[in-house]
Every structure is written in C-alpha cells, then in structure tokens.
Amino acid sequence: MKKQVGISWCQSKYRVMPMADDQKSKLYKLKPITDRLPAVSKPEGHVHFRTKMLWVVVILVFYFIMTNIFLYGLDGEKTVDLFAQYRAILAGAQGSLMHLGIGPIVTASIIMQLFVGAKIIKLDLTNKDDKAVYQSSQKFLVLVMILVEAVPQVFGYLVPSEAFIGGLDGTFGDSGFLRGENIARLIIVVQLCVGSYLVFLMDEVVSKWGIGSGISLFIAAGVAEALFTGTLNAEGLDRSIPLSNSNLPVGTIPKTIYILTHQSASDLVGGGYEQILIANPNPLIALIGTIIIFLFVAYVESARIELPLAHGTARGARGRYPIKLIYASNIPVILMAALLANISMFTMLFYTNDALSGIPLLGGNPLLGVYPAGENYPTSGLAWYLSTPNGVGDWLLPLLNPETYGSMVHGHSSLQVMAHVLIYVGIMVGGSILFAKFWIMTTNMGPEAVARQIESSGLQIPGFRRDPRVLKRVLERYIPIVTVISGALVGGLAAGADLIGTVGNASGTGVLLAVGIMIQFYEALGREQMMEMHPVLRGFFGGE
C-alpha cells in the first residue's frame, strides 16, 4: 500500500503542468497564418511499402519534369547563374522552375536551427506542441526565403526577354511600376515562388507518404545526372560545329578516346596527356577522384558501434542498436553548402547589383568579393576564400607551377592559394561539426531521446537496469563524441573531394551527398520491408 501511495505522490509532484501563455514562444502568434498554408497531410494509418515506393518514383519523375520546364519569358542568353558552383548540391536547374532548388528550404532550416540552438527562439523540441510550432514556423520562413532569393536574382540576373517585355508594354500602364519590364519581372518571380513551394510540398510528400527525405532524393538525382553526363557526354563544348582538337567531347571517357585516336605520339607528349589528365572540362583525374570518393564513403558509411540489446520480458529476443560513424548523416554538409551558396549569392549581389552596390560598407566592397562583369565566380575577397575549389587546377597546379598556371587562381600568390585551401577546409569541417550538433538536437537523435525510444520498445542493455536514465548515461559515452567525429568527417570528406575534383561539376560535396543518400535510402528500404513483415517493429523505428 505504501509503495502505491509513493508512486502516486511522485507522479503528482512531478506532473508536467501546461505552459503559461506568457512563457510560450512568440512564434505561437504565427499559428493563425501557418495553419492556413498549403501542406501535405499525414497518412492516418500505415502506408504499405508498394505505395511508398510509388510515391517516391512519381515525385522523382515530377522533379525531372520541373527541371526541364524553363521560366516563361526568360532571356536565356543574358541569364547569370548566381548558384553555378553549387548547382548540383542545391538540386536545381538554371533558368527552370527548379532554379532556386532546395536553397530556400535548407536556408530556412539553418536559420531555425541556429535560433533554437542559441535559445533566441525558446522552443522545447521534445514537446509535441512546440515541435509542431517549430515545423510550421519553418514552413513560413521557407516562403520568406523564397522571396529573399528570388527577387534579387530577377533584378539583374534573370533577365526577361525583349519580346516578352514588348508584349506586356501598355497592357497595365506605361509608367511607374506597371511598365512592361516590371510586370515581366513580377511574372518570373511568381514562377520562381510557385516552383520553389512545389519543391517544398514534394519534399513533404516523400517524407510523409514515401521513404526517406525528398530533399536528399532530389540532391542524389541531380548529382547522378551531372556525373552521368560528365562521364559519358560525347558532344563537344560547341554543339554547332564538328568535333576537333579545339572542340573536344565534354565527357571524360569520350574525350579521352577522341584524343588518343586523333592525336599523334608527339601531340600527346606536347599537351595531349595534359588535356586528358588535368585539363577542364572533366579531366581523367576528376573521374578517378570521383571513384575513390565513392568507394571511401561507402566504406565509412558501414563503420559503426553496435550496442547489444535484449528484450526485458521475451527471453532470447536480442538485437543491436547501431551508432554509425557518420551518425549525423550528410545533413551537416547540405546545410554548409547552402550557407556558402547564400554567402556567394549575396556578395555577388552587393558587388554587381546596381541598387545594392551603393549600400555603405557592403555595396561594392572588394573585401567581401570581386566579381568581373558577366562572371559568377569571385576573383578575390572573402567570397574567393570561401569559394569551392574546382579540382587540382584551382590550387595544386598553381602551387607547383605559378608561372604557367597562375591565371587559374587570378594571379594570387602561393601563400594566398594555401590560405584559400586551409580556410575552405577549416570552414567546412568546423561548420559541419556545429550543424551536426544542432541536427542531433532537433531530430530526437540525442542520448535522452534514443534512450526513450529503446525503453518504449521494451528493450534494454544486458547487465544494466531497465531505466531510461541508465540508458541515457550509457549512450552519452558514445553519441556526443560520435556526433562531433561525424560532422568533422563529412566536412573533411566533402572539402577533400572538392580539392581532388569531380566529373560533371558535381563538386566533391555533391558526390559525398549522393553516395551517402543512396546508401541510406537502401537501408531505409530494408527497414521498411522489415516493418512490413514484422509490424511490431514499427514502434521502434518510428513508424505508424
């Protein structure tokens, strides 16, 4: 009797009381708006494996269709791609409905994670209501970021065609904002907003009705396309003229075969081998580097620590909880790539945009970045030091032979080139560690959340008392350390891959992401099939 009273007293004393209205986050005030935003509803029950696979295939097909639907009224010849060096990572296509790609979604995620992690936004993500507010507020922020990224690009970089403007002149008025040029830009902005929000909804469809993450699948699809064309594309740089030694095939393999079959031995020694091995586009060293990265990442993804588990009541029922070496997945690298892409975009806007270049301190400041007319790659300033090296031609060759290859680094000294490499690697590694910690905290992958999942499934670590607090202490020996190692490893791999170079301008980060995503998708397929055969496992894996 005393024992029952004691339990009742503890539950009464430590009962979680509702949060007072004045203690709630101010983001709750956005609920009337965020609750009305278009969204994909969750399935009410279990979704069968075949249905999930069908949704994944449908969304991927729709993604490729969107990458081939170009913005109506856009002048392709005058378009400047602000995201050129991050195009494969952002899962977009220049000048299409997918021009912004996943940029606004990932940027909104970065901002929300930083604000929650720094306690600027006071939300407890273990609380169901707070987590719902976090997700709905992030959805609202995605809309804001779509406008933030779309509007500046249209004014100067996504130029409407003269014919499109001429057709609109006089339709709504001849002066002020209603001029044909402004209406044409507004129409392009609307198309970008619609396309970007469709991407967000497609990601929700995959997450709720399919398998894995839609964002990850879009990245893998974009990178795979870039690698395929970069390796096998047999067309020349200039499609309007026949292939020749001055108009070589773009793909690595056709380019190598063409040079070996159309150049003499003296030509090969005089520069042919250099064209095959290191000359852009798609040199052979980039293909070799891509294969090495693929194999190394596949090996690292399999490394893990496995904690033995046993069922508390069912004798003989045993299992293992794997803590992978890449515990935080490849999400930290996605967030870092999106952050660097936004830095590149805004430094270019401040330097080249007519309206923004006049802003004091920021506008036209060469310390932030210098962009030659019509170019989308910085030649100096902070943006250059943070820019992604595109293979050995961007750093190693200028270091070994500055006189011959100095133009590849815009005349920078060897010391500056080394500083560029070290700063880029340091930023990628440090930023990935930071985002790995935030990601674990916001996705219930920390020691406390994992301990609750294991305990709720009826499992325990043999030799330890069945108590979430005991499980938490055991997991705290591994998860925080592995999280830091995971972030540092994926950041270092991505930076190292960028330094080696990849085919198809997929970037080392893109290859790293694609390999990791495909391996994780394969594992997710295995889990889904297991839950389909053994429904009791759905609770442990977070299924319905």
For domain 48-210, the CATH architecture is Orthogonal Bundle (1.10)
Rounded percentage of the chain residues whose pLDDT exceeds 70: 90
- Token pair, residue 391, equals 């293979």
- Tell me the three state secondary structure of residue 109: helix
How is the beta sheet containing 304-311 ordered, strand by strand?
Answer: 318-324, 304-311, 459-460
Q: What's the confidence (pLDDT) of residue 10?
A: 38
> CA nearest 441: which of 297, 521, 332?
332
Q: What's the confidence (pLDDT) of residue 176?
A: 61
Q: What is the mean pLDDT of the chain?
A: 83
User: What dihedral do alpha carbons 270, 272, 273, 276 form, nearest 10°?
Assistant: 160
User: How would residue 442 be classed by pLDDT, with cut points 50, 70 and 90?
Assistant: confident
Residue 67 · residue 92 · CB < 8 Å? yes
Residue 8 has pLDDT above 60, yes or no: no
DSSP labels, 212-281: S-HHHHHHHHHHHHHHHHHHH--SBSSTTS--BTTB-BSSHHHHHHHHHHHS-HHHIIIIIHHHHHTSSS
Q: What span, in angstroms and rounded, lies between the C-alpha atoms of 307 and 327?
A: 14
Helices (H), 391-478: 396-400, 402-405, 414-442, 447-456, 468-475
- Token pair, residue 148, equals 């933030």
* DSSP bridge pairs for 6: none
- Token pair, residue 265, equals 């031995």
Residue with tokens 């270091």: 399
| pTM of the model as a whole | 0.76
Residue 500 has pLDDT above 80, yes or no: yes
- Tell me the three state secondary structure of residue 370: strand
Burial 10-30 (b: 16+ CB within 10 A, else e): eeeeeeeeeeeeeebbebbeb
pLDDT (tens digit per residue) in 9-21: 333 333 444 455 5
Average pLDDT, stretch 458-465? Answer: 76
Q: What span, in angstroms and rounded, lies between the C-alpha atoms of 161 and 184?
A: 9
Average pLDDT, stretch 426-438? Answer: 93
| 460: number of Cβ within 10 Å | 20
Q: What span, in angstroms and rounded, lies between the C-alpha atoms of 230 and 237?
A: 12
Higher pLDDT, 413 or 319: 413
pLDDT (tens digit per residue) in 24-80: 778 888 888 888 888 888 888 778 888 999 999 999 999 999 999 999 999 888 888
